[in-house]
Chains A and B, each alone.
Chain A
Amino acid sequence: MADKPDKAASKQLVPVRLVRERKPGAKGGAARLWVKEPESQVEDPSLLAARLCSCSDVCLAVIEDR
């Protein structure tokens, strides 16, 4: 079954400004500057990583899927 986000909620949560997505390497001279490419800010549930915890000092769990 395809993931169907709540459309009303998505509409309400449209980010202030979406930054245009680009493929790495398609940026001419600026590509050499990136050590780590920025994460997409597009609000798409399928892009959300499964992550149980972000505080490994406290929690035992390190669940992630990317």
Chain B
Amino acid sequence: MQYKASYYTRAVVDGPWTLLFNGVTSGLMRLPRDLSDEVAPFLGPPRSNAAGRGLAEWDPPHFAVDQLPPALREVFPEFVRGRFFVPADEDEIAFLRRRNEFTRRNDPFLVTITTTLDCNFDCYYCYEDKSPVYLSRERCDQILAYVARQIEAKGHAKLYTDWYGGEPMLNPDAIEYFSARAIDFCERKGIGYSSAMISNGTHWPEDASGFARRNRLNHVQITLDGPARHHNARRGFKPGHEQEETSFDVVVATIDRLLGSTRIYLRINVDPGVGRAALELVDLFVDHGWLAPGARLYPYLAPIGPMTEHCGFIGASEKFQRFQDDFEEIKREFQRLVAAHMDPKGLEHLQIYPATRRMNCAAVGDNSVVFGPDGMMYKCGLDVGIAERAFDTLPPVNDGPPLERRGSPFVILKETPAVGSKAHPYHAYDPFTHERCSQCQYLPICMGGCPKTQFEGNDFYLARRSAYWENNFDDLIRVYAEGAAAGG
């Protein structure tokens, strides 16, 4: 049999070592100089770090195993297992396409539930159009019935729920009500249940751990906007929602109470004003034991950007555009600081490693749905609240009591004819025919990124996508290898 180097194998020099990565398997080897020298002639011509082109010109040498030097021949089966080398007649794009189609048809059953679009914050960059509609128990029953039908029809082995808002903890009753019934249903059916939540961390009960355990919260994502002086200026309580302590102190106290009972992803939003001050947080993490073994807290930086039309002004801001290069540098520094405290298992959760993506987003899979609090059904959480982006809606129910309880002047729109009129065709998303993605060496680890930004031509993100891999890939691999070596 003849072999060739995979187009998705990339060699990264790291001091005396060569790190050999494959984007299809996520496999990473660290080769000593002698072995690296022996492998090099078979890896094909030297490749630049350019994204978005190259496959058409890719023409690595073909060889048989008995042509390899003895030392390389001995370990060659491992190189094949990692897909650093593939059979010479293999069409790698066809392989990735089949894997992507299989994943989209069989991806885990994932139900995102928006308990309300209401929020006790009023962040300047918010991407949602807030409304005081709250998920009612009747809606919960409808969603449960939908879940049961899907499980019966498709035989899912596990149900994943993701609580979303607004601030989902403004409506804990819906979470407790739904979770108890969903867990009971799954146990009776003999299938698994796991849940997660995206929360601002300021509306949790004293027994936060009990709430997490009772509702099977496998992980929670909480957000800080840098250190206290920046966070409180951006994520302060809006009038009528004030608490005794500052928003920053309340979030920190919530994390302290949750620590160890669930995995916590700590998103640190960074805008040009926060900048390098985000790095100051690492000391706080250490002081609070958040990076200690067993804490299971994983912080990461994210830029403030125009995620939806609602905050589109950010994309037009020169200040934000200019900040992007600085952000990448700050992010790299932050990753190094945090990775130094992590064991290899922790590193897996830090989102440093460019792992392979069988599909890029649950929105393009067959088995995920996002429910708005009013029963609208979406594919993407960023679309929630925009009826035109919904693909379907649950039948009307009497949503009266929750609204009356909160004294809202708003009326829930029942089946509006606009539903679905501007829904993105997530099911038809296809990076394999995309002019640049199909040619890109980073395709298996990127898959074109966020499909919503592709559909909407969101240049703020799209323009940076290729540059991100070109500027960061090699360093991401080195940071991971360094952390794994230190921890392992």
Q: Is the CB of A30 within 8 A of B78?
A: yes
Interface residues on A, range: 35 or more
Within 8 A of A (CB), among B180-208: 189-191, 194, 196, 198
Once bound together, how far apart are the Cα atoms of A2 and B168, in whole Å? 32
Say which residue of B22, B357, B368, B382 sits within 8 Å of A59 (CB atoms). B382
Q: Is the CB of A1 within 8 A of B155?
A: yes
Instruction: Return chain A residues, CB-CB under 8 Å to B464.
Output: 57
Q: Is the CB of A9 within 8 A of B25?
A: no
Say which residue of B31, B156, B194 sits within 8 Å of A3 (CB atoms). B156
Once bound together, how far apart are the Cα atoms of A43 and B102, in whole Å? 8
As a 0/1 sequence over residues 31 to 66 of chain A, the CB contacts with chain B under 8 angstroms (1 = contact) are 001111111010101101111111111111111011
Q: How many A-B residue pairs have CB under 8 A?
A: 178
Once bound together, how far apart are the Cα atoms of A41 and B348, in whole Å? 19
Q: Is the CB of A65 within 8 A of B194?
A: yes
Once bound together, how far apart are the Cα atoms of A41 and B22, in whole Å? 13
Q: Is the CB of B157 within 8 A of A54?
A: no
Instruction: Return chain B residues, CB-CB under 8 Å to A45.
Output: 106, 157
Say which residue of B27, B190, B267 sits within 8 Å of A37 (CB atoms). B27
Instruction: Return chain B residues, CB-CB under 8 Å to A57.
Output: 302-303, 305, 461, 464, 468
Cβ-based interface call for B261 (8 A):
no
Say which residue of A35, A48, A58 sits within 8 Å of B28 (CB atoms). A35
Instruction: Return chain B residues, CB-CB under 8 Å to A33.
Output: 29-31, 35, 75, 78
Binds A, one of B115-123, B284-292, B448-456: B448-456
A29-B74, A38-B22, A41-B24 known; 16 new pairs, CB 8 Å cut-off, are A1-B151, A15-B99, A16-B95, A19-B80, A19-B81, A19-B83, A33-B35, A50-B158, A52-B110, A52-B362, A54-B360, A56-B300, A57-B468, A60-B198, A61-B164, A61-B381
Interface pairs (19), CB distance under 8 Å: A9-B105, A13-B98, A34-B29, A35-B480, A35-B481, A36-B353, A45-B106, A48-B106, A49-B108, A50-B110, A52-B361, A53-B361, A54-B449, A58-B449, A59-B307, A61-B381, A62-B265, A63-B196, A65-B108
